[in-house]
Amino acid sequence: MRVIARDGVHELEIQRSRFLCSLARVADDEEAAAFIAAVRKEHWSATHNCSAFRVGPDGGSQRSSDDGEPAGTAGVPMLEVLLRRELTDTVAVVTRYFGGIKLGAGGLVRAYGRAVSEAIDAVGTLRRARFATLEIAAGHAEAGRLDNALRAAGHRIADVGYGRQATFTVHVPAGDTDSFRAWLAEQTGGTVAATEGPLVDLDVPDPGGTS
117/142 same-domain check: no
- State the average pLDDT over residues 7-15: 97
Using the predicted structure, report yes or no on whether residue 124 has a pLDDT greater than 90: yes
Please, where are the H alpha helices in the chain?
29-42, 75-84, 104-123, 140-152, 177-188
- Residue 24 within any structural domain of the chain: yes
86/11 same-domain check: yes
77/100 same-domain check: yes
Domain boundary among 64, 93, 123: 123
The pLDDT tens digits for 91-117 are 999 999 999 999 999 999 999 999 999
Give the CA distances from residue 110 to residues 35, 78, 81, 105, 203, in Å, rounded to whole numbers and listed in that order: 24, 9, 11, 9, 30
32/81 same-domain check: yes
Q: How confident is the model at residue 206 (pLDDT cuts 50, 70, 90)?
A: confident
- Residue 210 within any structural domain of the chain: no
13/89 same-domain check: yes
Structural domain that includes position 149: 127-205
113/148 same-domain check: no
Using the predicted structure, report yes or no on whether residue 211 has a pLDDT greater than 50: no
pLDDT of residue 208: 67
- State the average pLDDT over residues 130-157: 95
